[in-house]
């Protein structure tokens, strides 16, 4: 959602993504492969299969007789499971009972047999930047690098983030469509992936921002985004004139991913501007364009002249441009949405991991050890500063700090760190670990103030 008069968000998604490999023509008799076992199919296909399924229903069996009792699924759930199971079985029969090639641990997997299913949390159309755009961009880059056809990439946007029923249905549908690799882009997909990985041992599951994994076919991936946050804090600290820097956050201190990033940003600010404050406005939702815009407006009203964010859409940057203040985007380059205000953006280059994942499956080196990327391998980064908007000397300060982080000569959180409530985190001469930052940062740095 944009404010009246706001600048359009830029070119269409397809125009900005790398061109994928051409899809070979599909034969009229081609049958889409499906994995053995329970799965889901599209609504139209399910309708036709359910009609056929009536022929195999046991005599006298009536779904309408089923009733819900305590601890047992009710009519709707049982009916859905039965119909999905029948649909999957009939789909296999229609395809000559030929499932997609199953992946085997420790063995090279033929590239032409890859079927990569990706579960997005938002629609693709009209998304020119932000969370879903960054993941889709990474998938297309990996597809191009691996020379995969369009038919080898399966997408789903049908799940509601946080609704485990729709998440499971979407993953099952991807598998029924032939996916032998499932890339689940949300933390909220983690538990479903963990459970289905046991049911489908021939499918590899990779979950973004989660922490769970198993020993065979379920892994997780994320990165040290706080490194890029720290660099962007240097830019913000040099850019502000009011000494107040706004930060639109999807969650408060209960979420370490968000809080760790806020703290890294605040440390970066303090290194160049010890008197500046970071004001945080929490939306309590990851994906809320209107709420993000309101939060940005509130921060501007509080005197903030730089707006950073940890939310999924470019709304805070659009609002920053609307109010004539500077902005620092997130997930992807948000200067496409607010070119007159976005100085730089903290970005995820998911293609770095997706290429790594698919290559490891093809060459047989895949393991389920969780992947944590950083500035050095390029998974996280800061976009080049816009010369017309960047403060004098900022590019040099960022380059200097980046070099120290990449070489290991310095880290974001070193020594004793004073919190906003007067506590001390860390030890003299020590550094906070990735786990402490990403999973145990339930505190704010001393120059951070959360608005009520």
pLDDT tens digits, residue range 390-405? Answer: 999 999 999 999 999 9
Region of residue 158 (phi > 0: left; psi between -120 and 50: alpha; otherwise: beta): alpha
In the chain, residues under CATH classification 3.40.50.2300 are 33-55+73-85+96-223, 225-348+380-450
Whether domain 225-348+380-450 has CATH 3.40.50.2300: the reply is yes
Read off the pLDDT band of 126 (50, 70, 90). Answer: confident
Question: Among positive and negative, which fits the CA dihedral 376, 381, 385, 391?
Answer: negative
Identify the pLDDT of residue 101. 87
The structure's pTM equals 0.80
How long is the chain? 452
Identify the pLDDT of residue 76. 54
pLDDT in tens, 311-334: 999 999 999 999 999 999 999 999
Q: φ, ψ for residue 425 (rounded to 5)? A: -115, 140
For residues 283 and 310, give the distance between their C-alpha atoms in angstroms, rounded to a whole number.
Answer: 10
DSSP label at residue 228: H
Mean pLDDT of 121-143: 94
In what helix (H) or strand (E) does residue 248 lie, and over which residues does it extend? strand 244-249
With a cut of 60, say whether residue 68 has pLDDT above it.
no
User: Which has the minimum average pLDDT: 21-35, 82-96, 273-287?
Assistant: 21-35
Read off the pLDDT band of 2 (50, 70, 90). Answer: very low
CATH topology of domain 33-55+73-85+96-223: Rossmann fold (3.40.50)
With a cut of 60, say whether residue 31 has pLDDT above it.
no
Strands ordered across the beta sheet of 371-373: 153-156, 116-119, 181-184, 204-208, 218-223, 371-373
Q: 20-37 as b/e, with b when 16 or more CB fall inside 10 Å?
A: bbeeeeeeeeeebbbbeb
For residues 136 and 208, give the distance between their C-alpha atoms in angstroms, rounded to a whole number.
Answer: 13
Identify the pLDDT of residue 368. 98
pLDDT in tens, 375-392: 999 999 999 999 999 999
With a cut of 70, say whether residue 82 has pLDDT above it.
no
Identify the pLDDT of residue 34. 39
Mean pLDDT of 70-92: 48
Q: φ, ψ for residue 356 (rounded to 5)? A: -60, -45
With a cut of 70, say whether residue 91 has pLDDT above it.
no
Strands 181-184, 116-119: pairing kind: parallel
């Amino acid at each position: 959602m944009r404010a009246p008069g706001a600048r359009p968000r830029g070119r269409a998604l397809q125009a900005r993504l790398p061109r994928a490999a051409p899809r070979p023509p599909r034969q009229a008799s081609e049958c889409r492969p499906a994995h053995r076992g329970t799965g889901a199919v599209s609504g139209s296909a399910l309708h036709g299969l359910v009609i056929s399924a009536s022929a195999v229903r046991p005599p006298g069996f009536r779904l309408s007789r089923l009733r819900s009792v305590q601890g047992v699924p009710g009519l709707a759930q049982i009916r859905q499971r039965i119909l999905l199971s029948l649909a999957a079985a009939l789909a296999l029969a229609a395809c000559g009972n030929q499932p997609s090639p199953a992946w085997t641990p420790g063995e090279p997997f033929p590239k032409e047999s890859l079927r990569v299913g990706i579960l997005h949390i938002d629609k693709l159309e009209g998304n020119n930047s932000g969370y879903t755009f960054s993941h889709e961009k990474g998938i297309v880059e990996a597809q191009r690098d691996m020379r995969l056809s369009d038919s080898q990439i399966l997408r789903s946007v049908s799940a509601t983030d946080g609704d485990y029923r729709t998440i499971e249905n979407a993953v099952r549908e991807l598998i029924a469509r032939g996916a032998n690799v499932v890339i689940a882009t949300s933390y909220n997909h983690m538990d479903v992936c963990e459970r289905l990985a046991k049911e489908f041992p021939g499918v590899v599951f990779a979950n973004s921002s989660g922490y769970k994994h198993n020993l065979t076919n379920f892994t997780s991936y994320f990165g040290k985004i706080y490194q890029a946050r720290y660099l962007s804090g240097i830019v913000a600290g040099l850019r502000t004139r009011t000494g107040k820097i706004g930060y639109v956050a999807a969650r408060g201190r209960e979420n370490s991913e968000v809080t760790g990033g806020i703290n890294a940003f605040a440390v970066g600010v303090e290194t160049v501007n010890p008197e500046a404050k970071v004001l945080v406005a929490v939306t309590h939702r990851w994906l809320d364009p209107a709420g993000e815009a309101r939060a940005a407006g509130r921060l501007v009203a509080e005197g903030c002249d730089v707006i950073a964010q940890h939310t999924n859409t470019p709304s805070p940057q659009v609002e920053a441009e609307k109010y004539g203040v500077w902005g620092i985007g997130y997930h992807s380059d948000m200067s496409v949405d607010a070119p007159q205000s976005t100085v730089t953006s903290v970005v995820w280059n998911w293609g770095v991991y997706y290429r790594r994942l698919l290559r490891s499956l093809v060459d047989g080196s895949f393991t389920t050890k969780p992947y944590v990327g950083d500035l050095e391998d390029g998974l996280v980064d800061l976009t080049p500063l816009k010369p017309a908007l960047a403060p004098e000397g900022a590019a040099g300060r960022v380059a200097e700090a980046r070099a120290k982080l990449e070489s290991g000569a310095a880290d974001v959180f070193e020594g004793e760190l004073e919190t906003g409530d007067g506590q001390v985190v860390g030890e003299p001469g020590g550094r906070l670990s990735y786990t402490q930052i990403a999973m145990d940062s339930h505190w704010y740095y001393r120059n951070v103030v959360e608005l009520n």
